[in-house]
Amino acid sequence: MVMQTDGRDDQLPGGLDVWQARWLLVRNSGVLWPTVLGAIMALLVPYALPLFAVIGLGVLTQVRFSRRGALVTEEGRHELHALVATAAARLGTPMPDRIWMTAEASVKLTAVAGRRHLLIGLPLLTCLSAAELRALVGYQLALLRHRRPGLLARLRDLWTESVEMASAEEGQLAWRAATTRANVDRFAGQVQREADGVAVSTASALARFAGQVQQEADAAAATAAGSREVAARAFALAETVGVEYDGFLDNSGVPPKHWWQPSDTSISDVHDGWSRAVAYGLGETTWDEEAAEVLATVHPGLADPIRALGTDPLPVLAAADPMAVAPPTVREQRRMVRQLRGIPYPRVIRWRTYDQSPPSWWRRRAARDAKSVRADVAAVLDRRAVDDVEVFEVVRTRLPEVTAAALGVPVEELEDHPHDCLPADDLPTALIWLVEDHLLHRGWRLDHPAVRGVLVGSDGERVDVRAVLADAVRANGVTPVLRDWLSAPGR
């Protein structure tokens, strides 16, 4: 085991004090007022024992039933366990106490009650090779060289979030980034300490902390993967997969829970749907030089190979040599999805698979999405479109304006963000929603609800809307088939 320490239990890498670090986390993670409220309630313990008993019972229920996903051991899912063991052996770090497979598109290290948990996202296993996955694992295992790896992980997440938010030029993200930096600077001005005779502010210590920890972790990722180039690609892919996976979940089509409903409804085989969507193809991603620059700032030890990746497209595809791992059981799937959606125990969930889901879910999803496309076109035209043939033509010929209307920004701003508009030979997913709405209204059904735009008619005819739209691009206009679909009455 490798454990770095300077002989002081209250000091972290970069000279950051433990209590300063904890204050920064409380101040910038949205838990300050809950903490204050909890302290006030603690003063009223003699008067609130029944309330505390109920809260305690709820906490015990959560601890008892909220497992983090599917457990990975040497006996079960030994291939994934062996991958983690190989990365730990290459780095000379201890193994985490528990390894979990989750439904999130990330690899994380957490510490709870003295136990170190490594959480590996199942969506990444679909798209990353074994070497790329080792890079992400090695990046997290590097924290186990230090004391308090859980605190270090949270600090690193805070620093990473501030870097990513600072890249936003406007809106809520920029406000949050400025607030975080202001909090750090304000606290630095109030609290300074003497370390080896040198005054060290919280802000500068946090910067040194991030520099030291990130350089070590990036080097560990390269060692675990076998090269800096593989590690850089792993982080770029993980970033892109995370964005695409969020979009996939946002378009799941599962009806939201209303206050009068006694239970939630959820799809249990989310990972099967994600794998099918990836196999079909997710289209263009938002990866570009700007995204690469932000990621290079987060990973200074891999900055050059990451920036080199920013000049080329980075599609989300099924890995050529994916990590072989036993799929989760039905019970594990449900547990993972419950954690993903943040549905606490003991709230009841009505579980459905994609095959068991009612067709009305997907008709409502298509109708909602198509309605948003028509609204964006109406904003461009300053009137309602005559029909969806006109909607198609406006999207095809005035895509930047439609995109600006959808984003709620002036069209001039898209010039600074070229990835917000697709190339002329690739029509947006919005048109797939439009055609899907018409065909589902005519009685067609989706071949699989997780794959948008592949439909089957009542006579068994199977069509791929993406191919039909590609024909329209080549024809430089609406094809007869597309015109027939989009001119259906009643839409």
Mean pLDDT estimate for the chain: 81
User: Can you count the helices (H) and strands (E) in the chain?
Assistant: 20, 11
Report the C-alpha gap between 120 and 146 in whole angstroms: 21
SS3 346: coil
3-class SS at 165?
helix
Q: In the chain, pLDDT over 90 holds for what percent of residues?
A: 48
Provide the CB-side half-sphere exposure for 338 (13 A, CA).
24
Q: Are the C-beta atoms of 295 and 306 separated by less than 8 Å?
A: yes
pLDDT for residue 421 is more than 60: no
pLDDT, tens digit (0-9, with 9 covering 90-100), for 266-300: 999 999 999 999 999 887 788 888 899 999 999 99
Q: What's the average model confidence in pLDDT over 363-381? A: 94
Residue 474, pLDDT score:
86
Cα–Cα distance for residue pair 396/469, rounded to 1 Å? 10
pLDDT band of residue 454 (cuts 50, 70, 90) is very high
Among 110, 79, 86, 82, which Cα is nearest to 224's?
A: 86
Share of the chain above pLDDT 70, in %: 75
The per-residue pLDDT for 186 is 45
Q: Which of 12-16, 149-153, 212-216, 250-254 has the lowest mean pLDDT?
A: 12-16
Query: Higher-confidence residue: 429 or 370?
Result: 370
Residue 423 pLDDT exceeds 60: no
- What is the mean predicted confidence (pLDDT) over 339-357? 90
Phi, psi angles (nearest 5°) of residue 350 = -90, 105
Taking the CA atoms of 30, 241, 293 and 286 in sequence, report the sign of the dihedral they define.
Answer: negative
Q: 442: buried, middle or exposed (CB in 10 Å: 19+, 13-18, 0-12)? A: middle
Residues 83-123 pLDDT 10s: 999 999 999 999 999 999 999 999 999 988 788 999 999 99
* pLDDT tier for residue 337 given thresholds of 50, 70 and 90: very high
Segment 177-195, tens digit of pLDDT: 445 445 444 444 443 333 3
- What pLDDT shows up at residue 209? 73
Instruction: Identify the pLDDT of residue 27.
Output: 64
Where is pLDDT greater, at 207 or 348?
Answer: 348
Over 60: is that where the pLDDT of 210 sits?
yes
**Confidence band, pLDDT 50/70/90 cuts, at residue 56:** low
- CA dist 51 and 280 (Å) reads 52
Query: At 6, is the pLDDT very low, low, confident or very high (cuts 50, 70, 90)?
Result: very low
Residues in Cβ contact with 428 at an 8 Å cutoff, skipping those fewer than 6 apart: 395, 399, 403, 422
